[in-house]
A and B are shown apart, each in its own frame.
Chain A
Amino acid sequence: DAKTTQPTSMDCAEGRAANLPCNHSTISGNEYVYWYRQIHSQGPQYIIHGLKNNETNEMASLIITEDRKSSTLILPHATLRDTAVYYCIVRDSNTGNQFYFGTGTSLTVIP
């Protein structure tokens, strides 16, 4: 699966939008972009996924660039409970649905 690159850490003020970038420059046409987050000592929580169109759900928005080489997860109004490690993963469902986690971005929401 394609390797992803994310910043190690980010801060965001409570109530503001948190924009988390992810680079996946070697992504192939069959690979989806998934976002999960992990709050300390818990299992990862699914956030959103997409192939090439922008996606939005009750948790977040996913913006994928036209060339699909990068994406941004947007938490529109960050709260203290959004403090977590956010993982961007690319996965090819045609070859299997394994997830290989990178190092993720540690997001801290500041009061």
Chain B
Amino acid sequence: GAVVSQHPSWVICKSGTSVKIECRSLDFQATTMFWYRQFPKQSLMLMATSNEGSKATYEQGVEKDKFLINHASLTLSTLTVTSAHPEDSSFYICSASFSRYNEQFFGPGTRLTVL
């Protein structure tokens, strides 16, 4: 149980375009979803916390107008990278939790390459 999926697993796009990444909890309802970014040889960096039906809370230094997060249901959150640039190329990982008292379950990640 507690499976989280992400789609797509990888994406290549041109500079200036927008890319949407989906995160789904497949077998549980996630009250909270999280989005992380990971650059090569670095640790995961928390970008934002998303609760179903409410606005996401962004970490300091993360541009909310560039990284749009929508958490429309208890099983789906989306991250849209708007006007992507090569420096946005990274590994984006989501996680989900069904309670603030429980562990997070992570998706497999989405590798974004912006040309």
Which label, helix, strand, loop or mixed, suits the secondary structure of the A interface?
loop
Whether, in the assembled complex, B49 has its beta carbon less than 8 Å from a beta carbon of chain A, the answer is: yes
A43 CB contact (under 8 Å) in B45, B100, B101, B109: B109
Q: A96-B49, A97-B97, A98-B34 are in contact. Are A46 and B43 (CB under 8 A)?
A: no
A34 engages B103 (CB within 8 Å): yes
Tell me the count of chain B residues lying within 8 A, CB to CB, of chain A.
25
Q: Which of A12-20, A66-74, A75-83, A99-107 contacts B (4 or more CB under 8 A)?
A: A99-107
With both beta carbons as reference points, the residue of chain B lying nearest to A45 in the complex is identified as: B106
Residue of A nearest to B105 (CB): A46
Q: Decide yes or no whether A21 CB sits under 8 A from chain B.
A: no
A100:B46 contact, CB within 8 angstroms: yes
Give the one of A44, A87, A102 with max B CB within 10 A. Answer: A44
Choice from B32, B43, B105, B109 contacting A104 with Cβ under 8 Å: B43
Tell me the residues in window 58-115 of chain B with beta carbons closer than 8 Å to chain A beta carbons: 91, 93, 95, 97, 100-109, 111
- Give 15 pairs: A residue, B residue, CB < 8 Å, sorted on A: A34-B103, A36-B106, A41-B91, A41-B111, A43-B6, A44-B93, A44-B106, A46-B104, A93-B100, A93-B101, A97-B97, A98-B46, A98-B49, A101-B46, A103-B43
